Structure 1
Amino acid sequence: MSFPYQLKTTADYKAAYEKSVQDPEGFWSEIASHFTWRKKWDTVLNWDFKKPTIEWFKGGKLNITENCIDRHLEKLGNKPAIIWEPNDPGEHHRVITYRDLHHKVVQFANVLRNNGVKKGDRVCIYMGMVPELAIAVLAAARIGAIHSVIFGGFSAQSIADRLQDAKAEFIVTCDGAYRGNKEIPLKSVIDDALVQCPFVKRVIVLTRTRTPISMIKGRDLWWEDEIRLVETQGSPDCPAEEMDAEDMLFILYTSGSTGKPKGVVHTVGGYMVYTNYSFVNVFQYQPGDVHFCTADIGWITGHSYIVYGPLSAGATSLMFEGVPTWPDAGRFWEIVDKYKVNILYTAPTAIRSLMGFGLEPLKNRDLSSLRVLGTVGEPINEEAWAWYDENIGKKKCPIVDTWWQTETGGILISNIAGVTPAKPTFATLPLPGVQPILVDENGKEVEGNGVSGNLCIKFPWPGMLRTTYGDHERARQNYFATYENLYFTGDGCLRDEDGNYRITGRVDDVLNVSGHRIGTAEVENAINMHTGVVESAVVGYPHDIKGQGIYAYVIFQGHQGDDELTRKDIMSTVSRIIGPIAKPDKIQFVSGLPKTRSGKIMRRILRKIAEGETSNLGDTSTLLDPGVVDEIKNGKL
């Protein structure tokens, strides 16, 4: 498959960028014309950031799975679409060709239909990293159902919150999942969540770990039995449902600065065009490449760059069930060697963690197939960049440092592999169609180069979120109300003398832990549910591996015999309510928190103390009780 819109030179990039700003509708219309549409769109773009309204290719009719699978069958039918590497290196891997994938997606789409799933219904998917996760996602999209994937590390309470918000009546899960040397009891976590969700009609369960589980008559069904039933019906075809470009494709929940997670909504047409365009260009995908994105499909990176971006381009996408350090720290390199991976896309957290094991795990591993390296999730520090460049890329592979968010659908700012220059720790330049702007606190544009400010985008791109599910006002408040007529990313940013962008971190109350966004309010709510906790405040601090760690200041009253045990109890509460990913790294017990007279916690002071900066805390005279600051400083962990 050739891509007339693939940029090959810096001049190509400059020309495409110029056109995308001068004539965005003509630019995106031309790119969209290379996909399979049943009917062309009526209008390319309709937008108003005040409401907000964002519509791309409205009136265009299509189905994203025809673009990810059906259109490749004639020429690429026998080509691997998904290569699956299991958690246990001793277990047999699986190769699923485009023809196999078509067959399996059609089968499972019929399973969903047999169980009453219709266009517009929400299907929640809570599975380990097995190929059936991708199959379930595509099967839902094929029949026009809206998928909502929940990462397999979330707790029962987190799942219940998401099910209730999406009013999802259908669930697809596994008996359990393997993750390194751990077995995660997915079905029993779902069972705990469903105590609060009596509206759920069906739970379809794939066998993976053979963990004993409870199966409730009339509600719970085995995936394998349902597939057999479709086969006895003669394996009927399942023509793809016709969708409007602006119909919902999926909801993906992300942490916000308030406690409740918000359901980011992406639609069919614009998301498809943008993930494909960004995949083909940023990674400079060449037909035949094996693309290994190490993310989990429970996060946006997996949606966009394991499933939809690569498959819409007819690529081979490698899916890995396990973790980079099990059974040893050479696992990624073993996979690269085994499958001759060409593009490796991973997180700075993983790189920093693997650096700690030295070069021994790289011995006898042939990494010569690698052509492009990428990082995602958080800004990469210079030391990790240099290690990745030298030891993994052998200084021959461009590293793309990609900046984007759940809400953006795809990569917005990144160098283009081998086409535009890289600069360590900088995401560098915006992709064509993306118009960044830096503003100060008052929303006034910070012009010129060698400046910093809050990063906003002033014009829509096809992959951007359309709303937050069931609560449009929340989308407006979160992303469009801070600065007039701008999409606010929540990130601070520096623009160097050459116009390169470097993300400097969140400017709102959201932490970036191992590349995953976690709202401080969400963690505080969970800590405050522990019986002895009166109040808490959570901030981020620099962490060698995770980028940001979670530091919690806790006022505790009640029986506190052993501080260490109490800390473990609080961590266990957070794990149960949100999931292990949100556990605080440090918990400091305090008698009070620095508050203004109006009762607002001064997190700025707490953040500085957590970062180890105790001399320059600014003016504390306006605090209700300035003495509390010295006590906190002296008790710092």
Structure 2
Amino acid sequence: MTTSALHRVSRQDELAPTRYHEVYAGWLSDPEGFWAEAAEAIDWYEKPKTIFDPTAGVYGRWFVGGTCNTCYNAVDRHVQNGRATQPALIYDSPVTGSKRVFTYDDLLQEVRTLAAILRDFGVGKGDRVLLYMPMVPEAAFAMLACARIGAVHSVVFGGFAAKELATRIDDAKPKVILTASCGIEPGRVVPYKPLLDAAITFASEKPSACLVLQRPQVQAELTAGRDHDWAALRAAALKSGRAADCVKLASTDPLYILYTSGTTGKPKGVVRDNGGHMVALKWSMKNLYGVDPGEVYWAASDVGWVVGHSYIVYGPLLHGCTTILYEGKPVGTPDAGAFWRVIAEHKCVTLFTAPTAFRAIKKEDPEAKLLGQYDLSHFRTLFLAGERADPDTVVWAERILGVPVIDHWWQTETAWAIAGNPIGLGQLPVKPGSPTVAMPGYDVRIVDEACHEMPANKMGSIVVKLPLPPACLPTLWEQDDRFRESYLTEYPGYYKTADAGFKDEDGYLYIMGRTDDIINVAGHRLSTGGMEEVLASHPDVAECAVIGIKDQLKGEVPCGFVVLKAGVTKKPSDIEQEIVRLVRDKIGPVAAFKIAICVNRLPKTRSGKILRGTMKKIADDDPWTMPATIDDPAALDEIAASLKHHGIGA
């Protein structure tokens, strides 16, 4: 891609006019009218009597008095309205060599059947069903089957540690658990059943039944009286013709519980409702992502994360798209061209993934030579979220792909973007390092500790004025008081995002890290995210992380970790010295940046979030435990050894 082509996707004077400002102003002047209009895109059994009731719930509830069903909107209505033969879900599994395509009619048959099976086990409206599943089609079937009969699903990452899984079982109290015999990672098979058995032993609450999907790689041993073979139940239900119809649910009834990662003690279960969730996600598919019904949309995530809920399963299906469920990695299954192969083969128009995926691709194939093997002419937009998208990665992706690369920012709690670049309304100019502007529904402010607004370009805490828009959490599962304490008390009248950043003079947001990633160096508040931008700009650096570590003199000092690109021949010690000089030149001596450490890999969760908090605990010699969501435990061991080599930590 030429330099002029790169400018084409970034310069305002060459972008089509945008409707964003008009639409956002329309929402701001009449929030209820805006969301009432958006709700027309959803099929209701009974339309809401009240668009927003400020007296309901903790801070108000959306679409009160309406009745609906999420599964009906995601599946049934498309079959009835002419999409029966359109692919709804494409399963692409390079780790097993399997591919399957399910039309909307196929999806309806699978979901109706599984819903009937759940009903046979006594599962009904309001009951909880826990899913402990790999990335297989049955995971999506199970979510939709629960939604169909009004059961509340809670997806827990397959392979999650037994004791952590037990805390979620005790909190959700599921009547039934759905699982598989194993998950498959590059080069290894992870048996799930022993982990689930141990979790049930640890848990005080016991499920009445477990349905086990036996995969060819591992045959799980079934516990008599409790465990049932999923395939055998499906075959029997199909033979007898059993199928469950959709249940009418209140808009405010819960659809699912999703536990935030890294919790300790009593977990925080984010609650999602039915009506508001559908309205916001349906609106986002066209207006934010710029995708039309019938097109192929791919979110390269996992159903264990919020991205998998919102944009592998619910969002694309509500919109009538074809969604891809991918069981693989960005590299190593088989190489750094894996994503290009999927986009080309399935004619994806949009990919949504984590910046860390692209950093991994850039590390393995810095010149994107593998891209040349694939036809991506139909591909329009790359969306990044989950970790801060450093400008170097954004610019690299724009250069190799020749399409807009859109960073956007949201949280497990919100279910969809707080800030983004609304492609469907007309793209705004890209500013690398910024997820652009607040979406309709979000009145985002930057405030100091006393809740006073900060001027442009001054860093503070990022908050959202209440009420939160549809789809955002109305509360935590059976913990209203904890919800208030965690999110609403510190800044009265606002939702605390726990992220820090600033707005520029154009209203663009910059998310510089969690508020606990703002370090205090001799009285100067500095952003580790800003330092990471500098580290990422070094030509030999593939990815990086900066943490603040305790210092007797300055309070805290920054420490940077870098992973080098493949093929770099310089000595790591030379690169470390270059990075220290680079930070001094770009930020100044005030940063007190003197420690840079080259490592082979950074410790991450499976969603790609770097475990900076745990790294800091190791560096500060504070007590820490292995995070339940870690992808590669050996990566933390390497961090500890590297710190010890530099005289830091234990």
- State the TM-score, normalizing by the size of structure 1: 0.80
The offset of 1:231, in angstroms, is 2.0
Contact kept? 2:189, 2:217, Cα under 8 Å: no
* Residue 484 (structure 1) aligned with residue 492 (structure 2): yes
* Residue 439 (structure 1) aligned with residue 447 (structure 2): yes
**Any idea what SS the aligned residue of 2:330 has?**
coil
Contact kept? 2:129, 2:176, Cα under 8 Å: yes
The residue correspondences of 1:210-221 to structure 2 (distance < 5 A) are: 210-221=217-228
Tell me, in whole angstroms, the C-alpha distance in 1 between the residues paired with 2:188 and 2:645: 37
2:155 to 149, 152, 176: 149
State the match for 1:407 in structure 2.
413
**Any idea what SS the aligned residue of 2:150 has?**
coil
The offset of 1:46, in angstroms, is 1.8
State the match for 2:348 in structure 1.
341
**Any idea what SS the aligned residue of 2:413 has?**
helix
Contact kept? 1:451, 1:494, Cα under 8 Å: yes
State the match for 1:130 in structure 2.
136
The offset of 1:360, in angstroms, is 3.2
Tell me, in whole angstroms, the C-alpha distance in 2 between the residues paired with 1:255 and 1:80: 32
Letter matched to residue 481 of structure 1: T
Contact kept? 1:152, 1:298, Cα under 8 Å: yes
State the match for 1:574 in structure 2.
626
* Count of aligned residue pairs for this structure pair: 549
The offset of 1:556, in angstroms, is 13
Q: 1:410 to 1:588 in 2, by over 3 A?
A: closer
**Any idea what SS the aligned residue of 1:406 has?**
coil
Contact kept? 1:154, 1:579, Cα under 8 Å: no
Contact kept? 1:542, 1:548, Cα under 8 Å: no
The residue correspondences of 1:519-534 to structure 2 (distance < 5 A) are: none
The residue correspondences of 1:581-596 to structure 2 (distance < 5 A) are: 585=636
Tell me, in whole angstroms, the C-alpha distance in 1 between the residues paired with 2:516 and 2:71: 37
State the match for 1:327 in structure 2.
334
* Cα shift readout 1:23-51 (whole Å, capped 9, x = no counterpart): 100110011022100001111112369x7
Letter matched to residue 405 of structure 2: I
State the match for 1:23 in structure 2.
30
Tell me, in whole angstroms, the C-alpha distance in 1 between the residues paired with 2:443 and 2:617: 39
1:470 to 453, 478, 497: 478
1:283 to 286, 289, 293: 289
**Any idea what SS the aligned residue of 2:394 has?**
helix
* Cα shift readout 1:442-477 (whole Å, capped 9, x = no counterpart): 111224x33321111103200110111121111111
* Residue 501 (structure 1) aligned with residue 509 (structure 2): yes
**Any idea what SS the aligned residue of 2:348 has?**
coil
State the match for 1:360 in structure 2.
369
State the match for 1:560 in structure 2.
none
The offset of 1:419, in angstroms, is 2.3
Q: 1:367 to 1:540 in 2, by over 3 A?
A: farther
Contact kept? 1:155, 1:579, Cα under 8 Å: no
2:202 to 184, 196, 214: 196
Contact kept? 2:112, 2:244, Cα under 8 Å: yes
- State the TM-score, normalizing by the size of structure 2: 0.79
The offset of 1:145, in angstroms, is 0.2
**Any idea what SS the aligned residue of 1:271 has?**
helix
* Cα shift readout 1:289-311 (whole Å, capped 9, x = no counterpart): 21111000100001001111110
Q: Compute the RMSD of aligned alpha carbons.
A: 3.1
**Any idea what SS the aligned residue of 2:360 has?**
helix
The offset of 1:276, in angstroms, is 1.4
Tell me, in whole angstroms, the C-alpha distance in 1 between the residues paired with 2:451 and 2:356: 33
Q: 1:583 to 1:29 in 2, by over 3 A?
A: farther
Letter matched to residue 551 of structure 1: M
State the match for 2:69 in structure 1.
63
State the match for 1:551 in structure 2.
615
State the match for 2:170 in structure 1.
164
Q: Which runs of 4+ in 1 moved over 3 A?
A: 8-11, 255-260, 508-513, 539-550, 552-557, 577-584, 586-590, 631-637
Contact kept? 2:92, 2:324, Cα under 8 Å: yes
**Any idea what SS the aligned residue of 1:404 has?**
coil
Q: 1:508 to 1:255 in 2, by over 3 A?
A: farther
* Residue 184 (structure 1) aligned with residue 197 (structure 2): no
Contact kept? 1:552, 1:588, Cα under 8 Å: no
* Residue 390 (structure 1) aligned with residue 399 (structure 2): yes
State the match for 1:377 in structure 2.
386
Q: 1:185 to 1:473 in 2, by over 3 A?
A: same
* Cα shift readout 1:358-389 (whole Å, capped 9, x = no counterpart): 22332312222211111010211111111111
Letter matched to residue 364 of structure 2: F
Tell me, in whole angstroms, the C-alpha distance in 1 between the residues paired with 2:645 and 2:101: 56
Contact kept? 1:35, 1:67, Cα under 8 Å: yes
Contact kept? 1:574, 1:583, Cα under 8 Å: no
* Cα shift readout 1:548-578 (whole Å, capped 9, x = no counterpart): 5442556999xxxxxxxxx9xx99x726x66
Contact kept? 1:157, 1:578, Cα under 8 Å: no
Contact kept? 1:574, 1:580, Cα under 8 Å: no
The offset of 1:209, in angstroms, is 3.5
Tell me, in whole angstroms, the C-alpha distance in 1 between the residues paired with 2:89 and 2:38: 25
Letter matched to residue 512 of structure 2: T
Tell me, in whole angstroms, the C-alpha distance in 2 between the residues paired with 1:503 and 1:181: 36
Q: 1:37 to 1:556 in 2, by over 3 A?
A: closer
Letter matched to residue 45 of structure 1: F
Letter matched to residue 385 of structure 1: V
Q: 1:487 to 1:555 in 2, by over 3 A?
A: closer
Tell me, in whole angstroms, the C-alpha distance in 2 between the residues paired with 1:177 and 1:221: 18
State the match for 1:596 in structure 2.
none
Report sequence identity in percent: 35
Unaligned stretches of 5+ in structure 1? Answer: 1-7, 514-519, 521-536, 558-566, 591-608, 611-630
Tell me, in whole angstroms, the C-alpha distance in 2 between the residues paired with 1:582 and 1:458: 39
* Residue 249 (structure 1) aligned with residue 301 (structure 2): no
Q: 1:104 to 1:257 in 2, by over 3 A?
A: closer
Q: Select between 105-114 and 272-281 the one with higher mean Cα deviation.
A: 272-281
Q: 1:554 to 1:438 in 2, by over 3 A?
A: closer
Q: Select between 286-295 and 19-28 the one with higher mean Cα deviation.
A: 286-295
* Cα shift readout 1:107-154 (whole Å, capped 9, x = no counterpart): 000010011111111100011101110000000010000000011241
**Any idea what SS the aligned residue of 1:574 has?**
coil
